[in-house]
Structure formats: structure tokens, C-alpha cells
Amino acid sequence: MVRVDKELCSRCGLCAKVCPHKLFEVRAKEVLVTADGCMACGHCRAVCPVSAVQVTDVADVLSFQTFSERTESMAPGDFETDRLVQLMRSRRSCRNYRQDVVDIEILEDLVRIGTTAPSGTNSQSWQYTILPRRKDVKSLGELTAGYYRELNSQARNPVYRLLAKIFAGDALGKYYREYYDSVQEALRQWDEEQVDRLFHGAAAAILVTGETTASCPAEDALLATQNILLAAHAMGLGSCLIGFVVEAVRRSQKMKKALGLGGTTRLYSVIALGYPAITYQHVAGRRRVQPRILHLA
Ligand SMILES: Cc1cc2nc3c(=O)[nH]c(=O)nc-3n(C[C@H](O)[C@H](O)[C@H](O)COP(=O)(O)O)c2cc1C
């Protein structure tokens, strides 16, 4: 996957230093790639001061459609921390959307931004599904409502709860105690008043899936998801994770089939997106944390 141009190479050895798998050997007259195991992370190419290293299968240009791309790397420290943290704290889960359509180019750019996240062994085994229109989001909402209607009909049945407890633990009982009432009310509003308590009226959505055969599929998908959430805010969009849909898809064969998911592909996040109808005046507050400082002997 890696090629070193002999004519350009100055044998500085930086590629060998940064390679996670130590695949390079700096010889008197040339730099050789002497071992297998390249995961195409591209560190060698990125560090080379004379652009002598090429990595196949990796696109440097991500071809964003809604903003111009900067491909020069920022050095550590070369960004305003206060602005970054302000962006992070200004992103809130949006539960009030305008009905304006989100251009497909913006949604595609968000997916590309997702792919800039780290992934275990650089597997990048994530996939992204875009629901570009409100009607697509509503259809997924209807499928999800169907799942919860069925779950609630089981949960409200004391015999079913008892049998479930005996054979499968108390998950259904816990669901009944903690969620049944609010889900029932949300279903009523969905059916009778066309109030969307699930997607909050979002105009579009992105689903992030991963391959369970990858080394860290959940982490990969959720890191990509966080990139998308932050970028959405930067691009003027509101976003909200919809865990209720993730849960439903994981448990419902019918939903998996409708979304074309199966085999080793698993859904990790559902991101509702749209232009926010409400803007906030203050950044997010959080509980204070006291980190544990550990000096290991
Ligand atoms: C895994 C996960 C699942 C979530 N699922 C939902 C959901 O189904 N519906 C919803 O309105 N918010 C959902 N949220 C949003 C959280 O409620 C929200 O992140 C939290 O209250 C903090 O608020 P903030 O995102 O505005 O900072 C979810 C968040 C996470 C991380």
C-alpha cells in the first residue's frame, strides 16, 4: 500500500519513526518498506517533508461540497481551545426543528466529516445511511412506533412480565416500570395528534452502522457520530441522537429488514438533523467531575 519515491526521498527517517507497525527500513541509499501489516493510516505520507511517500487506497481530498477544504495540517496548539470548547458546549440536543429541507450536499458532507474520526486499527468499517427527507424520517418513526406498540402490549401483560422474568431476567419489568407510561403517551400523541416525540420533527437523519467483525465497531461509529454532531452545529444545523430507534432496530428483525441491515452489520447511532427552530442563549452546564489521579507504582 505504501510506495517511497527514491528520487524525492531524503532518507530523513521520519516515516520510519511515525509508522505504528515499524514497516520502514532506512538504508544507506534508500528507504524500504520491509514488512507487511500496513493499515494505511497515512502517517508516513503526512509526515514526509518532501512528499516522497504515497499510500494507495487513501483519499487526501475528501471533496466537501458545501465548504472549501483545507488540507494543510494544523500543528498541535494551532487552534483556539476556547473556541473549540465553546462549540462543544453550544451543541445541544435539538428537539424543535423548522421544516426546511436539509440539502443532500450538506448531509453528504456530514458523512465525510464523520469519516475523519479515529477507528480501531484504522478499519473505518463504518457505513452511513442518509434519510434525506422528512417523509423518510417519518417512515422510520412509524416502524419504530410499531416496535414499541408491540413491546408495550407485552409489557402491560403481568403474565408475560412474570414469564419473561423467569426465563430472561427482569428487563421487561424494568422497562414497564421506567418507560411504559411515557412511551404509551408518545404513541398516543403520534397516532392521534401527529406529534413526533421520537424524532422531534427532524427534517433528515443519518444512521451510523458498523461491522461487528471490526476490532472496535461501537467506538468507531460513536466517535464518527460525535464529529457529525459538532460539525452539524458548526454548519447551522440542530441534531439529536435517537437511542430509542437504535434499541428498536437492534431487537426487531422487521426493522432490520426494512433498513437493509443484517449479518455482521449493526446499527450504532441514529442522528436526527434539521434547522433548529429555537436558539439558545447559554452553553451547556455539566455536573462537576473530580478525576481520580493515579500514580501507579
Ligand atoms: C446514546 C444516546 C441516546 C440518546 N437518545 C435520545 C433519544 O432517543 N431522544 C432524545 O430526545 N434524546 C436522546 N439523547 C440525547 C440526550 O438526552 C442528551 O444528550 C442529554 O440530555 C444531554 O443534553 P445535550 O445533548 O443537549 O447536551 C441521547 C443521547 C445519547 C448519548
Does 56 have pLDDT greater than 90?
A: no
Average pLDDT in the 33-58 region? Answer: 92
Q: Are residues 37 and 103 in the same domain?
A: no
290 band by pLDDT with thresholds 50, 70 and 90: very high
Q: Which atom of ligand 1 is nearest to 284's Cα?
A: 27
Q: Are residues 38 and 152 in the same domain?
A: no
CA of 242 to the centre of ligand 1 (A): 7
The answer to whether position 294 is within a domain reads no
pLDDT of residue 190: 95
Q: How far is CA 77 from CA 14, 74, 111, in A?
A: 21, 8, 26
Does 35 have pLDDT greater than 90?
A: no
pLDDT digits (tens, 9 = 90+) for 74-90: 999 999 999 999 999 99
pLDDT digits (tens, 9 = 90+) for 112-128: 999 999 999 999 999 99
The answer to whether position 67 is within a domain reads no
For atom 5 of ligand 1, the residue with the nearest CA is: 243
Ligand 1: residue of 93, 190, 222, 269 to mutate (most ligand atoms within 8 A of CB) is 93
Amino acid identity, position 209: T
Q: Are residues 47 and 89 in the same domain?
A: no
CA distance 297 to 116: 37
pLDDT digits (tens, 9 = 90+) for 185-216: 999 999 999 999 999 999 999 999 999 999 99
The answer to whether position 73 is within a domain reads no
**Please, what's the b/e burial string for 239-265 (b: 16 or more CB within 10 A of its CB; e: otherwise)?**
bbbbebbbbbbeebeebbeebebeeeb
Q: Are residues 145 and 6 in the same domain?
A: no
Average pLDDT in the 211-240 region? Answer: 98
Average pLDDT in the 248-252 region? Answer: 97
pLDDT of residue 115: 97
CA distance 281 to 294: 38
161 band by pLDDT with thresholds 50, 70 and 90: very high
pLDDT digits (tens, 9 = 90+) for 139-151: 999 999 999 999 9
92 Cβ inside 6 Å of ligand 1: yes
The answer to whether position 136 is within a domain reads yes
Ligand 1: residue of 241, 267, 282 to mutate (most ligand atoms within 8 A of CB) is 241
pLDDT of residue 252: 97
Q: Are residues 12 and 130 in the same domain?
A: no
Q: Which atom of ligand 1 is nearest to 222's Cα?
A: 1
Q: Are residues 40 and 112 in the same domain?
A: no
Position of cell 401483560? Answer: 157
**Please, what's the b/e burial string for 4-20 (b: 16 or more CB within 10 A of its CB; e: otherwise)?**
beeeebebeebbbeebe
Q: Are residues 15 and 122 in the same domain?
A: no
CA distance 220 to 213: 12
The answer to whether position 65 is within a domain reads no
Q: Are residues 24 and 116 in the same domain?
A: no
Cell of 36: 507487511
Q: Are residues 129 and 195 in the same domain?
A: yes
The answer to whether position 186 is within a domain reads yes
Q: Are residues 24 and 105 in the same domain?
A: no
CA distance 218 to 232: 21
pLDDT of residue 60: 83
The answer to whether position 289 is within a domain reads no
Domain that holds residue 46: 2-55
The answer to whether position 68 is within a domain reads no
CATH number at residue 35: 3.30.70.20
Q: Are residues 121 and 251 in the same domain?
A: yes
Cβ atoms of residues 121 and 20 within 8 Å = no
Domain count along the chain: 2
CA distance 176 to 161: 9
For atom 8 of ligand 1, the residue with the nearest CA is: 242
177 band by pLDDT with thresholds 50, 70 and 90: very high
Q: Are residues 150 and 274 in the same domain?
A: yes
242 Cβ inside 6 Å of ligand 1: yes
The region of weakest confidence among 33-42, 179-188, 245-254 is 33-42
Cβ atoms of residues 133 and 206 within 8 Å = no
Computed over every residue of the chain, the mean pLDDT equals 96
Does 233 have pLDDT greater than 90?
A: yes
Average pLDDT in the 253-274 region? Answer: 97
Q: How far is CA 128 from CA 137, 141, 222, 296, in A?
A: 15, 18, 12, 41
226 band by pLDDT with thresholds 50, 70 and 90: very high
59 band by pLDDT with thresholds 50, 70 and 90: confident
| DSSP bridge pairs for 204 | 273
CA distance 233 to 87: 8
Does 42 have pLDDT greater than 90?
A: yes
241 Cβ inside 6 Å of ligand 1: yes
pLDDT of residue 36: 87
Does 58 have pLDDT greater than 90?
A: no
CATH number at residue 186: 3.40.109.10
Q: Which atom of ligand 1 is nearest to 95's Cα?
A: 11
